[in-house]
Structure 1
Amino acid sequence: MNSVAANSAIVLLFILIGGFFAAAEMALVSLRESQIRKLEQRGRRGARVAKLAQDPNRFLSAVQIGVTVATMLSAAFGADRLAGELEPTLVSWGLPRGLAQPVALVLVTLAISYLSLVLGELAPKRLARQRAEGLSLVVAPFLDRLASLSRPVIWALSKSTDGVVKLLGGNPHADREEMTTEELRDMVVGHTDLTADERHLIAEVFSAGKRQLREVMLPRTEVEFMEADTPLAEAAVLAATLPHSRFPVYRGSYDEIAGFVHVRDLLDPVLTGQIEPISRLVPIRPVKFVPASKRLLTTLSEMRDEGHHLAIVVDEYGGTAGIVTLEDLVEELIGDIRDEYDIEEPPVPLPAGEVELDGLTNLNDFAAQTGINLPNGPYETLGGFVLAGLGHLAAVGEKVEIPGFDLTVTELDGRRISRVRVKRRTLIESPPEPDS
């Protein structure tokens, strides 16, 4: 009985050694970049952890050697010693001697496998993930020395592995595929520790990363420009009637933007009633120019860092396509920001199944409000889609049919489609009433 207990203790020791290596591996590979940087500043031991974590190939091979050797020793020693101890017991229970030996070997192997999974893999790894930083500080010195001592063995294993990979047609130097943007977004947005608002904001950031300025800009037909020769008194009256703080200034045409003027300069009491051109009386401030193909988030970062609140969007021909403001770009991430100067149109009562939208609604906002995804094409707005579908300049009352819905032009602003009514199409017409 004493020999059984001693042999069992030795097997258990091998299993626990394997569990130590498994826990060490999990602790180091679970460290995030922020944790590694923090540990690197915690003295020599923390620096050693950072060194190991930043070079995983160095310690993973050593850890794998330790896990494999410990597992093989526990299985081999247990099968050799404990199976022999169990065999007489099985014979005493009436099992034939010729069958008792293989049955004892199978039972001992199953028992060792169970303990190896629980004590040598699952439990150590789960605990290591919960205490990654603390455990990493404990195991790092040992693993660092083990990796140095095992370097010849690791080199031999690496070369052997490379040869097998080449033999099977693989590339031994290729790494795993990098995580795609979609996978990263799904992982972050699905994180249970984030609130619904935080997940929504992160999803909007990922979505905005693909959007270009042409999709979110205010087109030039909707921009309030001021000519450089406009009398100050006239410009002040215009500025006082509009809810804008900055106005692009042009010379000759909208494609020749000289800069912008601020409303506080136009309404300066000292200059009240002056009829000289604004270019002589108030500062024309420099304005940022950006291509229509520029990404939204890149532009937002640049405007924030450079202190710009207004940017002129330039098309591929060098002409003015529209403008974007810092507020517009932020709203693409967090939604509309309304203040006391924003004019909110009262909702128009419509029959059930109908909605009326601005023709300048971009396709992403249209999909969010209606659940209808319009096909991509040479347009960025709802009005542009309807115009492309018609194939000619629109007239009030004309409509474009899409699966399940009619898009009807209800209002024009010059030649631009300014309002579109979306109506669900009745799929089954009511049968005519029979004649009496």
Structure 2
Amino acid sequence: MTLSSSLLLIGLLIAASAFFSMAEIALAAARRLRLRQLADEGDARAERVLRVQDQPGDYFTVVQIGQNAVAILGGVVGEGALSPHFSALLAWWLPTSTAQTLGFLASFTVITSLFILFSDLFPKRLGMARPEELAMRLSGPMAWCMVLLRPVAWLYSRCADALFRLFGLSSLRDERVTSEDILAMMEAGARAGVLDVDEQQVITNVFELDTRTVSSAMSPRERIAYFVRDESDAVIRLRIAAEPFSTYPVCEGDLDHVVGYVDAKDLFQRVLNNQPISLKDDSLVRKVLIVPDRLTLSEVLAQFRQAHEDFAVIVNEYSLVVGVVTLNDVMSTVMGGLVSPFDEEQIVQRDQDSWLIDGITAIDDVQRALGLDELPHPGEYETLAGFLMVMLRRVPKRTDAVAWGGYKFEVIDVDSYRIDQVMVTRIPEGTPAASTPTA
């Protein structure tokens, strides 16, 4: 065989090896969501790739047969084609035996380098860069290869299946998409500039609906504006003017005996029509939805949908009212600053190293704002105020502070045992670490 024909054969073998390498990596890297979208648009090739991904055993068997056969042939052809020429060239300066040895090594190095570069590295990088397109383009030729090599592929596939069963392993690909997968994709999209940071946060908040309890979004007990059922018309009108809300619980005697709620629209309509307001009128007071304080926000949304309500009173295990929540509260938790830019923020960054945070701020939001992966005693509290109570083991008072994770949490304002404001400051590097409370 002449040198030119040998080089042509080596080139064909490299091309064949590159074909199998590209087919292998493209199928493995092709995204099922993208393929499903293309298949739904009528692309038969995408549907064929999806079927192969469901049962990839024969496909990869054919790929390995082709790659190994081509590699062996490439070694045989390359050694016979190039070694004599390298040996003859080196024989001008070296003894014959040494020239033959070095000629073989030179031929081996050249052939191996060509295969590594053109049949492995380049096609696999190309397959990773454009996996869906290449997987669809190569699915047709690979289907023909699978037909031609079916008997051999069947034999090796059955042997591989036996090994999987022997070791108790599953050969099926897990295609489940978890919330962590989606959040990782959203984070990558935000870094690439495809998603806005606020949009990424909205998606993160949606997934947190199943873990955040209703108390993280409720209006706490001390902030509830309510009516006692036997209050006079004048008192009700003064309360509406002083504390304008969309909904007011109606109670018998005190807040822990809620009998219903009244919508502000109904009250305003009576005011505008100069009609007297009496909460003893059953047509004015609506049935209220009562939910326990351990429900998640996702469960509260389900309760709203089932009851066709957008307002609920939250009670604890002792049937005491701890807060109220509206559909808008839950949606504000999801949408964040996108829907409430004019509301007072619970977390205000004063400068690069200090934050002013409301005591009722959900601890997940605090961790996110400060970049803390974890806090001590997880699960024992849901708000920043709860964190300070757990760390101090008592009701905090002004100037109480806790140091943790490189931050100092100092109580700034307390109102009737309620922590209103907390100053969080970053502890300078080099300061001795501390996690104990200080007073």
3-state SS of 1:247 partner: strand
In structure 1, the residue matched to 2:14 is 15
Describe the shift of the 1:67–1:268 C-alpha distance in structure 2 as closer, same or farther (beyond 3 A): same
3-state SS of 2:4 partner: helix
Describe the shift of the 1:176–1:423 C-alpha distance in structure 2 as closer, same or farther (beyond 3 A): same
Contact 2:267 2:277 in 1 (8 A): no
Contact 1:189 1:203 in 2 (8 A): no
Partners of 1:107 and 1:279 in 2: CA distance: 101
Mind listing any 5+ residue stretches in structure 2 that lack a counterpart? 433-439
Partners of 2:3 and 2:294 in 1: CA distance: 76
1:106 Cα deviation after fit: 1.7
Contact 2:219 2:325 in 1 (8 A): yes
In structure 1, the residue matched to 2:240 is 239
Partners of 1:235 and 1:273 in 2: CA distance: 13
1:300 Cα deviation after fit: 5.4
| Residue 225, structure 1, aligned to residue 205, structure 2 | no
In structure 1, the residue matched to 2:102 is 103
Partners of 2:345 and 2:38 in 1: CA distance: 53
3-state SS of 2:282 partner: helix
Partners of 1:175 and 1:369 in 2: CA distance: 40
Describe the shift of the 1:320–1:136 C-alpha distance in structure 2 as closer, same or farther (beyond 3 A): same
Partners of 1:400 and 1:388 in 2: CA distance: 12
Describe the shift of the 1:14–1:392 C-alpha distance in structure 2 as closer, same or farther (beyond 3 A): closer
Partners of 1:105 and 1:16 in 2: CA distance: 23
In structure 1, the residue matched to 2:192 is 193
Describe the shift of the 1:62–1:90 C-alpha distance in structure 2 as closer, same or farther (beyond 3 A): same
1:219 Cα deviation after fit: 2.6
Partners of 1:318 and 1:154 in 2: CA distance: 68
| Residue 411, structure 1, aligned to residue 410, structure 2 | no
Letter in 1 for 2:361: T
* Of 263, 280, 283, the match for 1:281: 283
In structure 2, the residue matched to 1:141 is 140
1:16 Cα deviation after fit: 0.3
Partners of 2:263 and 2:62 in 1: CA distance: 66
Taking only the aligned residue pairs, the percentage that are identical comes to 26
Contact 2:57 2:157 in 1 (8 A): no
Contact 2:357 2:422 in 1 (8 A): yes
In structure 1, the residue matched to 2:25 is 26
Letter in 1 for 2:89: T
Partners of 2:162 and 2:385 in 1: CA distance: 62
Contact 1:409 1:421 in 2 (8 A): yes
Alignment of 1:165-184 (within 5 A): 170-173=167-170
Letter in 2 for 1:363: I
Mind listing any 5+ residue stretches in structure 1 that lack a counterpart? 429-436
Alignment of 1:246-395 (within 5 A): 246-250=247-251, 254=255, 259-269=260-270, 272-277=274-279, 279-282=281-284, 284=286, 287=289, 290-296=291-297, 299=300, 308-316=309-317, 320-336=321-337, 337-338=339-340, 342=343, 357-367=357-367, 375-376=376-377, 378-389=380-391, 391-393=393-395
Contact 1:410 1:421 in 2 (8 A): no
Instruction: Tell which deviates more after alignment, 43-52 or 66-75.
Output: 43-52
Describe the shift of the 1:165–1:57 C-alpha distance in structure 2 as closer, same or farther (beyond 3 A): closer
Partners of 1:122 and 1:353 in 2: CA distance: 47
In structure 2, the residue matched to 1:432 is none
Alignment of 1:81-96 (within 5 A): 81-91=81-91, 93-96=92-95
Contact 1:31 1:53 in 2 (8 A): no
In structure 2, the residue matched to 1:62 is 62
Contact 2:398 2:413 in 1 (8 A): yes
Describe the shift of the 1:276–1:327 C-alpha distance in structure 2 as closer, same or farther (beyond 3 A): closer
1:9 Cα deviation after fit: 0.6
Describe the shift of the 1:132–1:94 C-alpha distance in structure 2 as closer, same or farther (beyond 3 A): same
Partners of 1:184 and 1:275 in 2: CA distance: 52
In structure 2, the residue matched to 1:47 is 47
1:103 Cα deviation after fit: 1.8
Describe the shift of the 1:135–1:179 C-alpha distance in structure 2 as closer, same or farther (beyond 3 A): closer
Cα offsets for 1:343-391 (capped at 9, x unmatched): 789x9xx999886643323334445566787533633333334444555
3-state SS of 1:323 partner: strand
1:8 Cα deviation after fit: 0.9
Partners of 1:424 and 1:10 in 2: CA distance: 67
Letter in 1 for 2:120: E
Describe the shift of the 1:305–1:284 C-alpha distance in structure 2 as closer, same or farther (beyond 3 A): closer
Q: What is the TM-score of this pair, normalised by structure 2?
A: 0.76
In structure 2, the residue matched to 1:433 is none
1:98 Cα deviation after fit: 1.5
In structure 2, the residue matched to 1:431 is none
Cα offsets for 1:111-141 (capped at 9, x unmatched): 1122112221222233334444443333212
Q: How many correspondences in the alignment?
A: 417
In structure 2, the residue matched to 1:72 is 72
Q: What is the TM-score of this pair, normalised by structure 1?
A: 0.76
Partners of 1:135 and 1:389 in 2: CA distance: 57
Partners of 2:90 and 2:426 in 1: CA distance: 78
3-state SS of 1:284 partner: coil
Describe the shift of the 1:94–1:423 C-alpha distance in structure 2 as closer, same or farther (beyond 3 A): closer
Contact 2:332 2:340 in 1 (8 A): no
1:18 Cα deviation after fit: 0.9
Contact 1:353 1:423 in 2 (8 A): yes
Describe the shift of the 1:243–1:352 C-alpha distance in structure 2 as closer, same or farther (beyond 3 A): same
Partners of 1:362 and 1:274 in 2: CA distance: 41
Letter in 1 for 2:310: H
Contact 2:58 2:154 in 1 (8 A): no
Contact 2:288 2:312 in 1 (8 A): no
